[in-house]
Structure formats: C-alpha cells, structure tokens
C-alpha cells in the first residue's frame, strides 16, 4: 500500500472511531496542566474527552483548545471530523457564542420582527458604519423573508465618542427602533441618557472577539462577518451543518 493511502486510511479510521471516554484522572491531569500553565489564574469552563482519542476538549471563555490526557501537550486549532465533514471546534464555539448572546437577552436589543418569524439573527451594528446602513436600508427585505433582526450595539469609536453618545441616545429613545432608522439615515436623534445596555454590549464584543461591523450571528451561534443580502442570508440560515 502506498504511503499516501496508509495516511488516508489512518485519518478515516480515526474519524470513524467516535468519541473516546477517559476516566476522571485524565480530566484532573488536564486541569492541573492548565493551572500550571496559567499560574492558577484561569479556570477552564469545561474539560471533556474530545472526539479524537487521547485528547481532551478544554473551553476557556470562548476559546476551544485540546490537551493530551497526560496534560503535557496543548493543541490550538480546529478539530475536523473528516468522515462527516464537520468542524467540531467551530460547532462547539457556536454553542458558546449562542449562550453568551442569550445571557445578554433580547430585552436589551433593538428588534425588527416580521409577523411570521422563520429565522432570527443577532447583529452587532455601528450607526455610522456604511455597510450597517446598507443592511438597515434593506430591513423590509429581511423581514419579508421571515428573518427577525436583533441589534446589539457596537459603536466602534469607543466609549465617550460621538458615535457612542449617538448610540446611547437611540437606545434611550421612546421608540428605539424608529430612532435607529432615523440615525441610520443620517438624521439627527435627540440626545438622551438612561440606564442602557451599550457598555454591556461592548463587553460582549470583547468576549466574542468581534472586530468588525456588521457581524451577524445566526440562531445556532454561527458567525457570518459583513453585510449579507436577505436572499443569501436565508440560504445560509437554511443550510444544514
């Protein structure tokens, strides 16, 4: 058998083997290794056997890494199930992203919903971002496609900037959705202040590693960067993993 064929056979055999369940000693070794590496400053959110024998999946905030059962080796990268053509690391991160967004809560967001909701997306938006404005101008197309759009605030100029003050004014308006539409059109919004979620949204920006607007999160936690027209977004939402 050619060497390339042997390598492929090993890959497929590994992918087909399924999850491996090690004992608690392995998880303890992994936790001890993380503690030693970080000086005890970081506590893993979860440690569990990975799909690949001999590795443990370790979740640190929104990061997913893999550590050998003896705690000696750490692997930072995506774990792919070749047989099923699935990115297991991406799937895990998506669940983490979804949980983080759910904790913030829809009540802190500005929402545009159709009468019949087929899908829901959550979008980090900047009032002054050109592509955010382009997306907002097509809100009717998203809603007509059955897509509910939920906005989280990401004034990229930072706290204290004119964009930040504008964002706070929108969230504090009597009708935030209408105020957002005016602001996106470049119209002046009455300056207002209130107990608002903008700082919390900015904390979530850091937590999720968002660095651009618009950034779209699908209902299952998958991330889609940039502006996406309604028809294409519908296709993505209806794609199976």
**Where in the sequence numbering do the catalytic residues fall?**
126, 129, 132, 156
- C-alpha dihedral (235, 219, 106, 226), degrees to nearest 10: -50
What is the spatial distance between Cα 106 and Cα 115, in angstroms, rounded to a whole number?
Answer: 17
Stated length of the chain: 241
Beta bridge partners of 48: 57
């Amino acid at each position: 058998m050619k060497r390339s064929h042997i390598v492929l056979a090993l890959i497929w055999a590994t992918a087909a083997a399924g999850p491996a369940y090690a004992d608690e000693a392995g998880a303890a070794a992994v936790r001890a290794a993380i503690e030693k590496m970080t000086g005890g400053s970081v506590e893993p959110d979860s440690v569990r056997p990975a799909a690949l024998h001999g590795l443990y999946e370790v979740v640190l905030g929104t990061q997913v890494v893999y550590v050998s059962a003896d705690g000696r080796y750490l692997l930072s990268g995506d774990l792919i199930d070749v047989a099923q053509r699935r990115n297991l690391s991406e799937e895990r991160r998506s669940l983490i992203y979804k949980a983080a967004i759910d904790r913030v809560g829809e009540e802190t967001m500005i929402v545009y919903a159709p009468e019949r909701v087929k899908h829901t997306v959550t979008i980090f938006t900047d009032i002054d971002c050109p592509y955010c404005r382009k997306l907002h101008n097509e809100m009717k197309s998203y809603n007509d496609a059955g897509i509910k759009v939920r906005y989280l605030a990401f004034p990229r100029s930072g706290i204290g900037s004119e964009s930040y003050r504008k964002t706070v004014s929108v969230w504090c308006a009597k009708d935030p959705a209408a105020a957002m539409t005016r602001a996106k059109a470049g119209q002046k919004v009455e300056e207002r202040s209130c107990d608002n979620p903008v700082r919390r949204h900015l904390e979530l920006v850091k937590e999720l590693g968002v660095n651009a607007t618009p950034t779209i999160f699908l209902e299952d936690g998958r991330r889609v960067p940039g502006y996406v027209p309604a028809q294409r977004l519908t296709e993505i939402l209806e794609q199976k993993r």
